[in-house]
Structure 1
Amino acid sequence: MEKRLNNPVVSADARAADPRPYALGYSSREMQRLELQGALIRDFTQDLLRRAGIRPGMRVLDVGCGVGDVSLLAGKLVGPRGMVLGVDRSAEAVDIAERRAVETGQCYWTRFATEDLDAFALDETFDAVIGRLVLMYLPDPPATLRRLAGHVRPGGVVAFQELAMPLTRCFPEGLLFSRCVGWISDTIERAGFEVDMGSRLPMTFAAAGLPAPQMISAGLAGSGPASPLYNYISETLRSLLPMAERLGIATADEIGIDTLAERLCREAVEQRACVMTPPFVGAWTNMPAWQEAAGA
């Protein structure tokens, strides 16, 4: 049976809640980078969702959905008897997510809305609220998480996956790799965002009034000329470059973005290095049975 989702009730100031510009921007190249990232860490996120208990028939809210990778993963798990609503502040990202939902045949139970997480409101209750790489960009993660969890039924799931960027490494250490890590971390941190939200998930859950989460951590590693990680690092810096220049962290000439992936590959191959991304830390918990969900 075909099923359509109810539209969210949105506050008038949905776009004005957080004035900070998103460090990675909203270019078409950034949308492609998000799809690349989604493909690289798909298995990590799918494992988290399964461990958290996302299953057929559930109603799931995916916050900060981007181009839809996590929403589509959740959509496959809940199936046509369930529903997924993905929310993101970028209309460009939501357009891509909607197209991908149509292409995968999930558009009748996996839908999307363009709204700011700190301003939008819902009149629905969900079985789960989930998100990936979103809490790190919020001005007050515990407050937003507390509010979002209010839309989850008693016993429902709260599950998030975030980065622990200080744990990025390369062995043997490569000079260019280290500079890239510094440029990325410094830009994100000085733009006002959290570079170690993965490590902060337990205290963030606690500050939001949630039970202590179960957790898992997984990361990407690569070596040799065929690894996709050099391009992933390069494309991340490409998206961050305007912000890095604005903050005085690095210039386009210093980074040399058009040849960066090739130079990272050459350095790693010459050193027979193991390149490791920051871990993607997953945390999940269940709402207390006595918790009254919003609208219940």
Structure 2
Amino acid sequence: MDTSFVERRPDGRTKTLDTRQYTLGYSEGEFKRLQLQGDFVRDLTEDVLRRAGLKQGMHVLDLGCGVGDVSLLAGQLVGPSGSVLGIDRSQDAVEAAERRAVEAGQCYWVRFASADLASFVPERKFDAIIGRLVLMYLREPAETLRRLAGFLRPGGIVAFQEMSMPFARSVPTTPLFTQVLGWIVRAFARTGFETDMGGKLFSTYLAAGLPVPQMISGARVEGGGESLGFEYIAQTVRSLIPAMERTGITTAAEIGIDDLADRLREEAVAHGACIMFPPMTGAWICSQQ
């Protein structure tokens, strides 16, 4: 995948952008968006973790934990007799996750650390390695899985969930939703990240030297004006505005972020539209394999 993008300056000169930074940024607004996302797809993630075999007493490593949603969910499944370590490259995200663990009463067995996945070396072995929407951001996801799988106990679990962005749609097709989806997909693609990691999970597991995984795919499907999905879309666009402007996709003025959620909602209601969000695909190898 090409991970560079050439920016043309007003004076005609060009420079190559560093596109391996997290596309959505590390703002307080992004952290709130991550929590909204966590609430929005929680059931889909919990289903994958339960199918994978997470249970009381297990010790779990959560890669790319962000503000802690998946770590806290795993913490509920393993309970205080187990443990979860969530790692993320952003110290600010880790601090937000730690505060949430305290608020949830899980801080004694769900902990967090700031680390780069490319060089992270845990001090112990785990019963499970998990992650959601993290492999899509890695330059070599299979190599990362191969390396970290070495820190699994025999018969351990590897469970990841990734999305397939291009498969989101509105039925019937509506112009604003189509435009916004195009902005989002292009922003990730132009900044060098995988927009269909869900579709590539199977081959990634095999390339990592892991057994053939079990897999399942599911998606949120929303209709009507009460859906949180419109705010989720708008907040995703808000976090992507710097990347969209930097890569020439669109501008903040064209987006009109302040009322984007309302306009998406009004369009969907006016057309009686069903919004089919990106499929979330889970893949896991179980302790029985």
Query: Where in structure 2 are the equivalents of 1:277-292 lying within 5 Å?
Result: 277-286=277-286
1:77 alignment counterpart: 77
Query: What are the Cα deviations for residues 29-57 of structure 1, in whole angstroms up to 9, with x where unaligned?
Result: 00000000001111111111110000011
Contact 2:19 2:192 in 1 (8 A): no
Q: Distance in 2 between matches of 1:19 and 1:217?
A: 29
Equivalence for 1:86: 86
Q: Residue deviations 1:224-269, cap 9 Å, x none?
A: 1111111110000000000110000111111111111111011101
Q: Which residue of 2 aligns with 1:156?
A: 156
**Partner residue of 2:64?**
64
For residues 160 and 188 of structure 1, what CA distance do their matches in structure 2 show?
19
**Aligned counterpart, 1:250:** 250
**CA contact under 8 A between 2:168 and 2:279: conserved in structure 1?**
yes
In the other structure, the counterpart of 2:121 is: 121
Tell me, yes or no, if the aligned pair for 1:174 and 1:268 is still in contact at 8 Å. yes
Question: Does the aligned pair in 1 maintain the 2:53–2:286 contact within 8 Å?
Answer: no
Displacement of 1:27 in angstroms is: 0.5
Question: Following TM superposition, by how much is the alpha carbon of 1:104 offset from its aligned partner in structure 2, in angstroms?
Answer: 1.1
Distance in 2 separating the partners of 1:199 and 1:258 = 33
**How many residues are matched?**
272
Listed as ranges, the matches of 1:142-181 within 5 Å are: 142-181=142-181
Give the Å deviation of 1:19: 7.1
SS of alignment partner, residue 267 of structure 2: helix
- CA displacement at 1:288 relative to structure 2: 8.9
Shift of 1:174: 0.6
Please list, as runs of the form range in 1=range in 2, the aligned pairs for 1:3-82 lying within 5 A after superposition.
20-82=20-82
Q: Show the 5 A alignment for 1:189-228.
A: 189-228=189-228
Corresponding residue for residue 260 of structure 2: 260
* SS at 1:22 equivalent: coil
Q: How large is the Cα RMSD of the aligned pairs?
A: 1.3
Normalising by structure 1, what TM-score?
0.90
How far 1:120 sits from its partner (Å)?
A: 1.4
Q: CA deviation at 1:166?
A: 1.6
**Counterparts of 2:276 and 2:120 in 1: how far apart (Å)?**
37
What's the CA shift for 1:92?
1.3
1:25 touches 1:239 (CA, 8 Å); kept in 2? Answer: yes
- Indicate the residue corresponding to 1:230 in structure 2: 230
Amino acid at match of 1:149: A
8 Å contact kept, 1:222–1:275: yes
> Tell me, what secondary structure is at the counterpart of 1:65?
coil
Query: Which amino acid letter does the alignment assign opposite residue 36 of structure 1?
Result: L
Runs of 4+ that moved beyond 4 A: none
CA deviations over 1:159-212 (Å, ceiling 9, x no partner): 000001121110010100001110000000110000000000000000000001
1:123 is displaced (CA, Å) by: 2.4
SS of equivalent to 2:238: helix
Q: Percent identity?
A: 60
Q: CA offset at residue 67 of structure 1?
A: 0.6
Q: List alignment gaps of at least 5 residues for structure 2.
A: 1-17
Q: Deviations over 1:105-148 (max 9, x none)?
A: 11111000011111111121000000000000000000001111
Q: Secondary structure at the match of 1:227?
A: coil
User: Which residue of structure 1 lines up, in the alignment, with residue 9 of structure 2?
Assistant: none
Q: Helix, strand or coil for the counterpart of 1:120? A: coil
Structure 1 window deviating more from structure 2 (212-221 vs 202-211): it is 212-221
Q: Structure 2 CA distance, aligned partners of 1:287 and 1:25?
A: 36
Distance 2:122 2:62 in 1: 13
Letter aligned with residue 168 of structure 2? T
Q: Distance in 2 between matches of 1:91 and 1:240?
A: 20
